[in-house]
């Protein structure tokens, strides 16, 4: 999303915008000149020069016979790649499950980078600065602990 200030002083008319970024046509958007905000937000869509891949890590299950609970350790890794010839700042958001039952506990074990974690929603947020032609690997591991008689389904 592009944020433009000072647009309200340009006497612009509502209509269709043709969006170009770095000399490339990226699409169309609608512009409403009757907005109340002093900052114009223009959705630019996804940039195919910023790559993102999310892969699950191997699930580990602890089913010790004398315990009344089953512990699952799950996780994933995200690779973010910048193929642009300049550095980029980006906000990466992901989420771990949030239990809807008191007897099922979900806890973050490990998260790489300086992620903010919001327990009530399970959201993880990273503010990343990627240099040109580099990539960053982010790993997240969490545990789910539930009584043996409770069926836990992971999708």
| Lookup: tokens for 95 | 């989420």
Centre a 10 Å sphere on the Cβ of residue 143 and count the other Cβ atoms it contains: 16
User: Is residue 87 predicted with pLDDT exceeding 90?
Assistant: yes
Give pLDDT, residue 132. 94
Give the position of tokens 């009757």: 34
For residue 103, the Cα-to-chain-centroid distance in whole angstroms is: 28
Give the position of tokens 């300086």: 114
Residue 65 and residue 97 in contact, taking contact as beta carbons nearer than 8 Å? no
Question: How large a percentage of the chain has pLDDT more than 90?
Answer: 48
User: Is residue 66 predicted with pLDDT exceeding 90?
Assistant: no
Report pLDDT digits (tens) over 24-52: 887 888 877 787 788 877 767 677 889 99
- State the average pLDDT over residues 8-22: 83
| Lookup: tokens for 106 | 């979900």
Distance between CA 112 and CA 45 in Å, rounded? 27
In sequence order, which residues have a C-beta less than 8 Å from that of residue 24 and are 6 or more positions away? none
């Amino acid at each position: 999303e592009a944020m433009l200030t000072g647009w309200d002083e340009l006497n612009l008319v509502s209509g269709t915008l043709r969006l170009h970024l770095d000399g490339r046509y990226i699409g169309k958007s609608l512009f409403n000149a009757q907005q109340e905000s002093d900052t114009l937000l223009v959705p630019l869509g996804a940039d195919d020069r910023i790559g993102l891949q999310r892969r699950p890590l191997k699930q580990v299950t602890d089913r010790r016979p004398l315990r009344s609970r089953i512990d699952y350790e799950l996780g994933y890794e995200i690779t973010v790649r910048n193929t642009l010839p300049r550095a980029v700042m980006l906000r990466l958001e992901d989420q771990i499950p949030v239990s809807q039952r008191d007897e099922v506990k979900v806890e973050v074990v490990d998260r790489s980078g300086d992620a903010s974690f919001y327990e009530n929603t399970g959201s993880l947020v990273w503010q990343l600065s990627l240099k040109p032609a580099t990539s960053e690997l982010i790993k997240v591991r969490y545990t789910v602990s539930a009584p043996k008689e409770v069926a836990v389904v992971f999708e």
